[in-house]
Amino acid sequence: MRTSLYLLLFLFSTLNLSAQKPLEYRISFPNAVHHEANVELLIPDVPAGPLTFRMSRSSPGRYATHEFGKNVYAVKAFNEQGSELPVIQVEGDVYRVDKHNGTVRISYTVFGNWVDGTYLAIDEIHAHLNMPAAFMWFPLLSGRPIQIKFNDLNKYGWKVATQLKPTELEDTFTAPDLNYFMDSPVELSDHHLISWTDKNTNNTEQLIRVSSHSVDNKEVVFGYAKMVERMVKESKAVFGELPRFDHGTYTFLQDVSKDNAGDGMEHRNSTVISDTQNKIAGNEEDLLGTFSHEFFHAWNVERIRPKTLEPFNFSHVNVSSELWFAEGFTQYYGDLILKRAGFLSNKQYHGVLSGIINGVLNNPGSADFSASQMSRRAVFVDAGVSVDRNNYANTFTSYYTYGAFIALGLDLRLRSEFKLTLDDFMQAVWKKHGKTEIPYSIPDLQNVLAALTNTGFAEDFFSRYVLGTEKNDYVKLLTHAGLELRKAEPGKASIGSLRLYVNPADGKSRVVSSTIKGTAAYEAGIDMGDYILKIGDDALNGNLDDILKKYKPGERIPVTFEHKGKVKTGTLNLRESNLLELLENEKANSEQIRFKNDWLSSKIK
Ligand SMILES: [Zn+2]
């Protein structure tokens, strides 16, 4: 549709008329030592009628619900003159003011003591803020700009690191609307900031920044940022260009402390990375994995965006069938980029790949459910917390691993059958859906693949391996690269992977993990919580491996176990350990070596 000049003029005048005053947010830290912050929201030009405001139940980059309202209290509302207005708590996390005269000031206290990419943490060393965990919002006013002022920075010696746009006002930043505000985490701390410029293909320069809050000195952070810079270049080489960042800046917000929860959370122009090491120095290579995964999201998920994640629902979760691509392909590239950039040895990378392959082929969930079905399970598993037990051990395969497994299969098939690469596919998806920011669905991805290869291949691949539960032949595919995928423990008898807890008082072995479908333990009727008393003629007391050494796969042996106080017997039909390993074939020919080099060598020009 072409827009007429008349319509443009009309839109322009309406925009001017409705140029709205920003919602003014302020956060102060009078009780940081006990993890509390005071938040004030000044809302001018409130439309007539009740004003509803609430905490979020979901957060950009997370796929399950989180009850952020639980850590908010002392919620109050005032009019312009400072008189208190009655606040009605409509739901646990939803509040309403019925009567006002156009300007409302809200205040509340928020508690946070959890450093990761989802929640918030406040203490005297920093305020680590994920916006949905800290700030209330107004469903009716989500299109209005938000201006936020951070108070008490001098008191604690903090600086601000964020993708929010700075203003001329002191310690004050803005976001054009609620969505951008919620997507913009903030670290207030005494951090080191290292930055460099990257020249993009169109000759524009953009600033890349690493903000590190850790005990390390500036030289250590500088050395680490050099490694990040190389990773950024290797990532850029996959797509041929960096995304165009809003305000020309991308920021890594890193927080390193052994008290943290390990996490990485992607955003449009930044990422939060919370590391659990005590410092950067000496741990550089371990820390890079989250950086490369999250940075790849600047293309894949932030701009190459599934339709199902838009518009983002802050009061519930979006269910998505595409996380095998959004997360899984990102997982595959996160490691591949580190390998290409020289930060992983051959042996380490073989370990990564065999982990992915074992994680799918030896996981019963992926036998019964497709990668797109697993993506929809994210609404329950993505840091979703519940108190009851679940059957994930038998029904769930991570869409990260499943997707990485599919990416590996597609990469090797494109290379061996079409003289193409997965990089070609990612670039084609980027051009069609990322650069244009036209959200995609699964058929769109299939169409991009069909345009590169042919309709038959794309349809076959998607129907069998993405929407279906079939698996490519990885033994054959890896042979192209001179790699041998084989049994890691040939001839070793197994009852299936189980976690046993041996009670030091009586030596009894209790099963403390779910038993897995298709294993001897599961089929013998052994359940989580049971005590395994005897295998064959041997009493079990922490010596499972030694007992199993006496037997061969295929043998059937009796087992005695205790289930809820009752002694039962069964038969263990021993299987061969199904663990796989990936090794370099010493006799690889030049063709295989060339194939592997094309795949794993640096693409930086
Ligand atoms: Zn991710």
Residue 9 has pLDDT above 90, yes or no: no
State percent of the chain over pLDDT 70. Answer: 97
In the reported structure, the alpha carbon of residue 118 is separated from the centroid of ligand 1 by a whole-number distance in angstroms of 13
Is residue 17 scored above 90 in pLDDT?
Answer: no
pLDDT at 79 over 60: yes
- Topology of the domain covering 22-189: Immunoglobulin-like (2.60.40)
Tell me, what's the pLDDT at 18?
Answer: 52
Q: Which SS3 state, helix, strand or coil, does residue 250 take?
A: strand
> What's residue 15's pLDDT?
44
In one-letter notation, the amino acid at residue 276 is: T
Report helix, strand or coil for 296.
helix
Q: What's residue 16's pLDDT? A: 42
Q: How far is Cα 352 from Cα 359, in angstroms, rounded to an integer?
A: 10
Check whether 4 has a pLDDT greater than 90. Answer: no
**Hey, where are the domains in the chain?**
22-189, 192-298, 346-481, 493-576
Question: Ligand 1: distance of its center to the CA of 8 in Å?
Answer: 39
Centre of ligand 1 to C-alpha 212, Å, is 20
Class of 346-481 in CATH: mainly alpha
For residue 135, report the distance from its CA to the centre of ligand 1, in Å: 24
| pLDDT for position 484 | 98
CA dist., res. 123 & res. 113, Å (int): 8
Nearest in space to 365 (alpha carbons), one of 402, 396, 328: 396
pLDDT-derived band at 516 (thresholds 50, 70, 90) equals: very high
Q: Report the distance separating Cα 175 and Cα 479, nearest Å.
A: 51
**Which of the following CATH numbers is that of domain 493-576: 2.130.10.30, 3.40.50.620, 2.30.42.10, 3.40.50.720?**
2.30.42.10
pLDDT tens digits, 68-78: 999 999 999 99
Distance (Å) from CA 555 to ligand 1 centroid: 43
Q: How far apart are the CA of 375 and the centre of ligand 1, in A?
A: 13
pLDDT at 198 over 90: yes
C-alpha dihedral over 280, 343, 484, 482, to 10 degrees?
Answer: 180
Question: How far apart, in whole angstroms, are the C-alpha atoms of residue 238 and residue 228?
Answer: 16
Residues 445-471 pLDDT 10s: 999 999 999 999 999 999 999 999 999
pLDDT at 3: 40
Is the pLDDT score of 534 beyond 60? Answer: yes
Distance 309 CA to ligand 1 centre (A): 14
The DSSP bridge pattern shows strands 120-123 and 159-162 to be unpaired
Q: Is the pLDDT of residue 2 over 80?
A: no
Q: How far is the CA of 141 from the centre of ligand 1 (A)?
A: 30
Percent of residues, the chain, with pLDDT higher than 90: 94
Q: If you measure from the C-alpha of residue 557 to the centroid of ligand 1, how many angstroms do you get, rounded to a whole number? A: 45
Mean pLDDT (whole number) for 408-433: 98
Q: Which helix (H) or strand (E) holds 134?
A: helix 131-134
Separation of CA 482 and ligand 1 centre (Å): 30
Average predicted confidence (pLDDT) for the chain: 95
Cα of 297 to ligand 1 centre, how many Å? 7
Query: Residue length, the chain?
Result: 605
Q: How far is the CA of 519 from the centre of ligand 1 (A)?
A: 32
What residues have CB less than 8 Å from 547, skipping those under 6 apart?
535, 536, 538, 540
Residues 177-186 have pLDDT tens digits of 999 999 999 9
Domain pair 192-298 / 346-481, same fold: yes
Mind listing the pLDDT tens digit for each residue in 302-358?
Answer: 999 999 999 999 999 999 999 999 999 999 999 999 999 999 999 999 999 999 999
CA of 3 to the centre of ligand 1 (A): 38
Q: What is the pLDDT of residues 473-494, one digit of tens each?
A: 999 999 999 999 999 999 999 9
The answer to whether the Cα torsion of 365, 371, 373, 379 is positive or negative is: positive
Ligand 1 centroid to 295 CA: how many Å?
Answer: 9
Fold for 192-298, please state it. Neutral Protease; domain 2 (1.10.390)
Q: What angle do CA 153, 172, 16 make, to 5 degrees?
A: 170
